[in-house]
Amino acid sequence: MTQRLPPSLTPLDTALAALLRGVDPIATIELPLTEAAGCIAAGTPLLVASPPRDIAAADGWALCANDIVGASAYSPLPLMTAPVWVDAGDAMPPGCDCVLDADAVEVSGPLAQVLAEGVPGQGVRRAGSDIAGRAPAVAEGHLINSATLLLARAAGVEKLSVRQPRLGIVNVPGAAVTAHMIAEIARATGLQVQAREAAARDVGSIAEVLGSLTCDLVVTIGGSGAGRRDAAVSALARHGDVFAHGLALQPGRTAAVGRLGQVPVVALPGSPDHALAAWLALVLPLVDRLSARQLRRRMTLPLARKIASSVGIAEIALLAEEHHAWLPLAVGEWPLQAIARADAWLLVPASHEGFAAGTPVDAYLMRE
């Protein structure tokens, strides 16, 4: 079956608005820390203070700084009572507020003398210095990363409340490389991935897989073009609705958007560069809506050289950071080496002809 793209391509903004219409954040779930990395926080418990009390930050002698004022190697200060030795991590003894090195105190039998002064807090980790009491591990709507997990583990938290959209991936035979790339990106984004492959490239085989999915969003990979064996969009139309096929987006022109019941669907092209561009422009905003994510991180740097773009087509540029500037690697068509090297991406709106060299631009980071 041959599919024909419409003579006029759908603007990216129009397609994205149709895709997002009626989409609300999904319900929250609790995940163990080992599974929560990359997910979006949905309200984390308030952490207890850490450490819960003053502890020794180093091995040494626990003393009161006021009691050893003036002590030096030339004027040792005898102690009335034997000092307490502490190891790093031990609770500080009552009345002690500093820890001196081993050679700062001489002990001979029951007698001890101090050879150096101390200051309050020296060698001590104060209560709540690592984690302030009743502070969240991460703000709601923000990414759970390794730093978040460090705080949670230190505070004794075992699970976190998250939103983790379930992504169904339907691979059309012939696009295995792209399917692996999208699945890996999706898992790194914190999605729960359910990957299936159609038995063949025909409408019936693709539609059969589409009808068996239980998820929050779906992407098909491959079969969205105008070739005689491209049937993904027709399969979507059989089970659901197609809002737009053929977008004013480069790369990604043959992508399509639609819905299976209430589940949004994006048909990604089989080519890695076109699929990745459509993922960035269409799927990521959808993931952010479903997970109630706050704005993604962007970095503003000047362009090392100009970016030229065609009016009427939204184009995505791949950028690399070099010498505190964004160096354009590829615009419109992306070699695989450019994808591998890219640090960020920039959407050039359809109304723009591009950006002059030296123009500061806000680019989304490829990896956060």
Can you give the pLDDT at residue 2? 41
Look at strands 124-125 and 111-114 and give their pairing.
Answer: unpaired
pLDDT tens column, 277-317: 999 999 999 999 999 999 899 999 999 999 999 889 999 99
CB-side neighbour CA atoms (13 Å) of 333: 0
Q: What is the pLDDT along the chain (368 residues), one digit of tens a residue?
A: 344 555 689 999 999 999 999 999 999 999 999 999 999 999 878 888 899 999 999 999 999 999 999 999 999 999 988 899 999 999 999 999 999 999 999 998 889 999 999 999 999 999 999 998 888 888 999 999 999 999 999 888 999 999 999 999 999 999 999 999 999 999 998 999 999 999 999 999 999 999 888 999 999 999 888 777 789 999 999 989 999 999 999 999 999 999 999 999 999 999 999 999 999 999 999 999 999 999 899 999 999 999 999 889 999 999 999 999 999 999 988 999 999 999 999 999 999 999 999 999 999 999 87
Can you give the pLDDT at residue 230? 81
In angstroms, the first-to-last Cα distance of the chain is 42
Can you give the pLDDT at residue 228? 72
CB-side neighbour CA atoms (13 Å) of 282: 39
CB count within 10 Å of CB 4 equals 8
Where are the strands (E) in 87-198, listed by range? 98-100, 105-108, 111-114, 124-125, 135-136, 159-163, 166-171, 192-197
Written as six digits, the tokens of 345 are 């991406």
Look at strands 249-250 and 314-322 and give their pairing.
Answer: parallel
CB–CB of 60/102 below 8 Å? yes
CA 95 to each of CA 83, 98, 109: distance values in angstroms, whole numbers, following the listed order: 11, 10, 23
CB–CB of 118/77 below 8 Å? no
Can you give the pLDDT at residue 1? 38
CB count within 10 Å of CB 321 equals 16
